[in-house]
């Protein structure tokens, strides 16, 4: 099986052609989200099966994030040297094994599952994004392919719940993990059998510490990674307390809140997908990353400050959609910048970026909790606004020499 690099010239390809050419890549991006979505969706029956409290089982989810953080940073230079398709296959096989271990139904197996899925994500995400950027010779299509990977993940985050619910009709959470493992093995086989596209003559491979030294010498890439981590801190902290806010303010039940969650996720997907097109080289906003980032971050800042003080449900839902859309625009622009400007540090930058966003998930939840404890809804709004303000201050450094 041979995968050739499509000829592109300077003309941006239609999304449908990129999607058709990169189908397995996009499917792998979707599948990587399934295990922890299954874990969250079936938390109660999983707890019943292993005979442990829901709090203890839910706490293990954090182990995956910690693993992703440390593996992402530690393996970043190595990922730049390993064949990306083999890394993707290894990550998918790890994901499959972790899921199968979890179905044994003992508490220790859940520890292996959470750590294994975190390891898989730390390897899979940067490998897929790097393959996306290497699929085309020109920056426009390379950057667009990378943003399509992230847009597909955001769409999967919205649609995964219903899909997993349908899969769960066969033997519940264990059946869903069996199906997920089988699909992961099929995709891993494809990655192992596929011949990578022809690449330019190899340059000297960076040493382990040299890769970090080179990254430290790129203040623009470090600023982009920092903005991504700060944006994630604010957004994920906001999402962590969104259900509680809608319950407290509007007395929304968990079932009704799923509609709000769908609105937020759909807005994020739309923003990520559209901004990925707008920000590609040669398009209207392709040469204006400073304007895109500043506008997106300031909109997100105003939205997070406003949402927690809105008293009308329709206005709150609109604010939720606006905030998700704004964050998605920023995320797409950051991914595009990394794809365009990473060079031989692209894989390292994507790996560290993934780890930074994992850190943002934890810091965001903690920051939001402190804000809520100290100042109620106003406190959480202010606490989650702080990372965005810092991110705005880094925009100039991140886009330097990009305009």
DSSP of 196-217, one letter per residue? PPP-PPPPPPPPHHHHHHHHHT
Cα 246 to Cα 22, 140, 159, 233: the distances in Å are 39, 40, 21, 20
Tens digit of pLDDT for each residue in 273-286?
A: 888 888 775 555 55
If 0-12 CB within 10 Å is exposed, 13-18 middle and 19+ buried, where does residue 313 land? middle
CATH 1.20.1250.20 intervals, the chain: 15-193, 211-399
pTM of the model: 0.83
Burial classification of residue 283, based on how many CB atoms lie within 10 Å of its CB (0-12 exposed, 13-18 middle, 19 or more buried): middle
- Of 2.60.40.10, 3.40.109.10, 1.20.1250.20, 3.30.110.30, the CATH number of 15-193 is 1.20.1250.20
Angle at CA of residue 152, ends 266 and 324, nearest 5°: 30
Instruction: Give the confidence band of 18 by pLDDT, cuts at 50, 70, 90.
Output: confident
CB-based contact 132:22 (threshold 8 Å): yes
Of the chain, the percentage scoring pLDDT greater than 70 comes to 91
User: CA-CA distance, 392 to 398, in Å (whole number)?
Assistant: 10
The top-level CATH class assigned to 211-399 is mainly alpha
Residue 83 has pLDDT above 50, yes or no: yes
Distance between CA atoms of residues 296 and 289, nearest Å: 10
pLDDT of residue 7: 46
| Statement: residue 9 has pLDDT above 60 | no
Residue at token pair 């990394």: 338
pLDDT band at 328 (very low <50, low <70, confident <90, very high): very high
240 close to 368: Cβ distance less than 8 angstroms: yes
Within 10 angstroms of residue 52's Cβ, the number of other Cβ atoms is 17
Q: How far is CA 157 from CA 29, 261, 265, in A?
A: 11, 10, 7
pLDDT of residue 56: 80
């Amino acid at each position: 099986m041979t995968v050739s690099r499509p000829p592109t010239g300077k003309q941006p390809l239609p999304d449908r052609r990129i999607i058709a050419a990169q189908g397995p890549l996009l499917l792998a991006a979707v599948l990587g989200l399934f295990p922890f979505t299954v874990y969250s969706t079936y938390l109660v029956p999983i707890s019943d099966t292993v005979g442990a409290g829901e709090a203890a089982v839910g706490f293990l989810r954090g182990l995956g994030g910690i693993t992703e953080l440390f593996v992402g940073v530690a393996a970043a230079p190595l990922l730049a040297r390993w064949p990306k398709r083999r890394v993707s296959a290894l990550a998918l096989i790890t994901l499959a094994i972790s899921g199968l271990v979890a179905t044994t139904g003992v508490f220790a197996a859940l520890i292996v599952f959470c750590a294994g899925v975190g390891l898989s994500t730390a390897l899979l995400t940067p490998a897929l994004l790097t393959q996306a950027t290497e699929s085309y010779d020109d920056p426009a299509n390379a950057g667009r392919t990378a943003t399509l990977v992230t847009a597909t993940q955001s769409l999967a985050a919205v649609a995964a719940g219903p899909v997993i619910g349908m899969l769960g009709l066969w033997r519940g959470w264990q059946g869903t993990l069996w199906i997920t493992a089988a699909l992961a093995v099929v995709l891993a086989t494809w990655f192992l059998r596929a011949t990578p596209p022809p690449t330019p003559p190899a340059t000297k491979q960076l040493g382990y510490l040299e890769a970090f030294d080179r990254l430290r010498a790129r203040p623009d890439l470090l600023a982009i990674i920092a903005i991504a981590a700060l944006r994630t801190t604010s957004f994920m902290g906001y999402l962590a307390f969104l259900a509680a806010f809608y319950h407290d303010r509007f007395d929304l039940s968990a079932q009704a809140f799923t509609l709000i969650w769908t609105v937020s996720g759909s807005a994020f997907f739309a923003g990520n997908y559209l901004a990925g097109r707008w920000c590609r080289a040669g398009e209207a906003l392709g040469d204006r990353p400073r304007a895109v980032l500043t506008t997106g971050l300031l909109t997100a800042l105003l939205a997070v400050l406003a949402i927690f003080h809105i008293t009308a449900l329709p206005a709150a839902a609109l604010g939720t959609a606006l905030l998700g859309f704004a964050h998605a625009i920023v995320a797409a622009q950051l991914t595009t910048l990394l794809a365009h400007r990473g060079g031989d540090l692209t894989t390292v930058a994507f790996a560290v970026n993934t780890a930074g966003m994992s850190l943002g998930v934890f810091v965001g939840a903690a920051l939001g909790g402190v804000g809520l404890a100290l100042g109620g809804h106003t406190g959480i709004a202010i606490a989650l606004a702080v990372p965005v303000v810092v991110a705005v201050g880094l925009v100039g450094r991140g886009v330097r020499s990009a305009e």
